[in-house]
Chains A and B, each alone.
Chain A
Amino acid sequence: MFAYIVRRLLYAPLILIGVNLLTFALFFVVNTPDDMARMQLGAKRVTPEAIERWKVERGYDKPLLFNAGAEGAETLTRTIFFEKSLRMFVFDFGRADDGRDIASEIQSRMGPSLAIALPSFVLGLLVTVSFALLLVFFRASYLDFAGVVLCVAMMSISGLFYIIGGQWLVSKIWHLVPISGYGGGLDASRFLVLPVVIGVIAGIGGSARWYRTIFLEEAGRDYVRTARAKGLSELQALFRHVLKNAMIPILTGVVVVIPSLFMGSLITESFFGIPGLGSYTIDAINAQDFPVVRAMVFIGSLLYIVGLILTDLSYTLVDPRVRLE
């Protein structure tokens, strides 16, 4: 098992290098820095000098991969690839277009993102799993049927609708919580209730149906029938046997997203005006701030890979048969 984990850990940098190469190709090879400069400067001020100045300011005035003009190791280090892409491995993301340091910005924005994403995730998991168990408890009845219909209908509604509708109803008509904004400390809870609740509701449809299929498959197995035959009540059978054994497929989908919670949600944060990483990303996309987008791609993949490793580890915890060969 130890060897397996070491192998996975070694695989992770390999994936990150792949991500890095891909983003490098997307951001610097498909479009040269000249193209980007021309677009950012706008049609009016495009003179060769302006483009050159733009590139020098941002450090794009070097060769992409190989600097023939430099000497020694500098032929490789004084290049865009080294300075802009490889530096990300030591969390040096450089500066955004507005001159701020990206790494410190990310640090200060992680908190608000997590404040929304974590409660939404935990509550959402609890609600959907309980709802799915409820449907399985009443399986093959009208209640089950109605529940499935509700799930399909709910997953057919655009996520934007939940947010816009929720803001309109709760904040504008009922005046219960502020429409958007964020505050420090305990004051934040006022702003967090609505996005969290909406996040949970928006996720119910798809996930509850998915969990229901998993539970149903498990509930039809022989060992569950045996459990019922030896006198366990349906509830006991569901919680003690079905839920426990359905853990593996659930963990596959759930553990992998836990680290990514740091990234926050683009849409939610931008609608509710929460200064997290999601709104940071969306602002960067709208302002075409390429260094920030690049940094977020890198961090996002890093967190995803951590999630993959955690998933593997969690298997060993819930299922003693899995020995990770």
Chain B
Amino acid sequence: MTGIQPLVLWTDLLLFGLLACTLLAGWSVRRSEPMRAAWRRVGESSVGMTSLTILMFFLLVGLMDSLHYRERLAPAGGEQLAADDRRQLSTEVRSALDALAAPLRTRVEKTYSAPLAYQLFARQTVEGPDGSQKREFPRLKHGGADLKYPEHELDGDIVGRIGMGLAVAAVAWIVFAAVLVKVVAMSRRVPAGAAWRAIWRGKGGPAWRAVLATLGVMLLLIGPLAALATEYHVFGTDKVGQDVLFLTLKSIRTALVIGTLTTLVTLPLAVALGIMAGYLGGWVDDVIQYIYTVLNSIPGVLLIAAAVLMMQVVIDTHPEWFETAAERADARLLALCLILGMTSWTGLCRLLRGETLKLRELEYVQAARAFGVSTTRILARHVLPNLMHLVLIALVMDFSGLVLAEAVLSYVGIGVDPGTVSFGTMINAARMELAREPMVWWSLVAAFIFMFVLVLAANLFADVVRDAFDPRAS
């Protein structure tokens, strides 16, 4: 009997919780005209929609990788199902992405192989059928295994697969474009032809043209990649023969978790303390300023290092807390988010304090005070809503910095668990191989390119959001 048992890791829960909160917040501000106007400005910007489309792709991959489960093992040799069902669970934790990309995950080679190769990267001693030994490049177990004469067939096969991928991508794009046109036509109550022309000329409403163009380019890349990935290791394999494409896909989740969950700590601390310091003043202000000056004065990396080292001791001395390796790695990832949050709230807090200082002197706040409105109510009704744009801008701006920081921290050895796949651990593992001759460059390049695209999209999106929400900008 096989089956699966869903498993919700802490970071999964928080990630989906955060997503739900974001959607809820979006729903609750839908009637606020300034907010809607600002989001409309984001939607009308081609750069904004382009980067949003790319971010959505990353988010999709990340969320799919956050649906975890454990497989139920088949009882060996007709053994009776134990009453304690948990014992039958595999210790390996999988995700929906793992299941979807199962061919990538399971086709493990012996060691390094170059992108689209059919042989291993290094010579190995192979024993012939007659017992003689030869030094040669052995064929891969999976990459290009269907080719009978790879020397001659490889190029043709690759071109054929790219063509097939492009064709599928084109069809997918046309289907998506048709659906989009239909939806736009229905929402604007115009014929489909008119809607298509409006989108094509980039007229009116959100920049759908940018979305379609971005999606087109992405599909043109993804299609051939997927077609090739069914037979080859498109980005090669790493030291233990894992497919690098698969590893990069897995890294996305780690980057997203670090970039978003950190805000769970930053946000409440920075908002609560910043507003209190700015509005109440006096000794409250002094204490809060003291706290963030102390935290600020410790160099960020060192504070993180100290905290992570201590957390490591806690985790190492309590192995009984975690049932599987994945849960331990997850706890460490979450702890890293908490630590990053504890060290990075000071900037936003100072910003909010300054802004609150200005707000409390404004007439409407003074009027509210004169009417005897309670402090908490003033803060919640009059001060907080007028700070939200700053909070939003800070959050979006922080994301890219956190993704980049993860790579550096993992390099220093104070990042994610070595068992967690992330851009940082990939770079760290690949760094050792640069000295090899010829060089093993593919996993490094793959990690850097994916990270660059993610961070660039986040940076561009942050710029658009800032321009749309910052009243000073316009």
Chain A residues close to B by CB (< 8 Å) = 14-15, 18-19, 22-23, 26-27, 30-31, 35-36, 38-39, 152-153, 155-161, 164, 167-168, 260, 263, 266-267, 270, 281-282, 285-286, 288, 290, 293-294, 296-297, 300-301, 304-305, 308
Question: Is B434's beta carbon under 8 Å from chain A?
Answer: yes
A47 to B427, CA, bound (A): 39
A-chain residues with CB within 8 Å of residue B305 when the two chains form the complex: 281, 285, 293
CB distance from A209 to the nearest CB of B (A): 10
A156 to B451, CA, bound (A): 8
Pick from A18, A155, A300: contact of B302, CB below 8 A: A300
Query: Do residues B306 and A297 form an inter-chain contact, with CB atoms below 8 A?
Result: yes
B-chain residues with CB within 8 Å of residue A35 when the two chains form the complex: 313-314, 317
A38 to B318, CA, bound (A): 12
Query: Do residues B310 and A26 form an inter-chain contact, with CB atoms below 8 A?
Result: yes
A160-B411, A286-B412, A297-B303 known; 12 new pairs, CB 8 Å cut-off, are A22-B295, A31-B313, A36-B313, A152-B463, A158-B404, A159-B408, A160-B407, A168-B434, A297-B302, A304-B298, A305-B297, A308-B297
Query: Do residues B455 and A267 form an inter-chain contact, with CB atoms below 8 A?
Result: no
Question: Is B413's beta carbon under 8 Å from chain A?
Answer: yes
In the complex, the chain B residue whose C-beta lies closest to that of A148 is B463
B-chain residues with CB within 8 Å of residue A19 when the two chains form the complex: 294, 297-298
Question: Is B394's beta carbon under 8 Å from chain A?
Answer: no
User: Beyond A156-B452, A300-B299, is A26–B459 a contact (Cβ under 8 Å)?
Assistant: no
Pick from A31, A260, A290: contact of B314, CB below 8 A: A31
Query: Do residues A26 and B296 form an inter-chain contact, with CB atoms below 8 A?
Result: no
Query: Do residues A288 and B309 form an inter-chain contact, with CB atoms below 8 A?
Result: yes
A304 to B300, CA, bound (A): 11
Interface size class, chain B: 35 or more
Pick from A14, A30, A160, A282: contact of B310, CB below 8 A: A30
A-chain residues with CB within 8 Å of residue B459 when the two chains form the complex: 152, 155-156
Query: Do residues B306 and A293 form an inter-chain contact, with CB atoms below 8 A?
Result: yes
Pick from A15, A157, A164: contact of B297, CB below 8 A: A15
A260 to B296, CA, bound (A): 13
Question: Is B460's beta carbon under 8 Å from chain A?
Answer: yes
Query: Do residues B414 and A285 form an inter-chain contact, with CB atoms below 8 A?
Result: yes
Query: Do residues A152 and B412 form an inter-chain contact, with CB atoms below 8 A?
Result: no
A286 to B451, CA, bound (A): 25
A-chain residues with CB within 8 Å of residue B302 when the two chains form the complex: 281, 293, 296-297, 300
A318 to B137, CA, bound (A): 68
A158 to B448, CA, bound (A): 7
Query: Do residues A30 and B309 form an inter-chain contact, with CB atoms below 8 A?
Result: no
- Show 30 residue pairs from A and B whose CB-CB distance is below 8 angstroms, ordered by the A residue: A15-B290, A18-B294, A19-B297, A19-B298, A22-B294, A22-B298, A26-B306, A26-B307, A30-B310, A31-B313, A35-B313, A36-B313, A39-B316, A156-B459, A157-B452, A158-B408, A158-B427, A160-B427, A167-B434, A168-B434, A168-B439, A260-B299, A270-B412, A281-B305, A293-B305, A293-B306, A294-B306, A297-B299, A300-B297, A304-B298
B-chain residues with CB within 8 Å of residue A15 when the two chains form the complex: 290, 293-294, 297
A18 to B286, CA, bound (A): 14
A-chain residues with CB within 8 Å of residue B444 when the two chains form the complex: 164
A-chain residues with CB within 8 Å of residue B431 when the two chains form the complex: 164
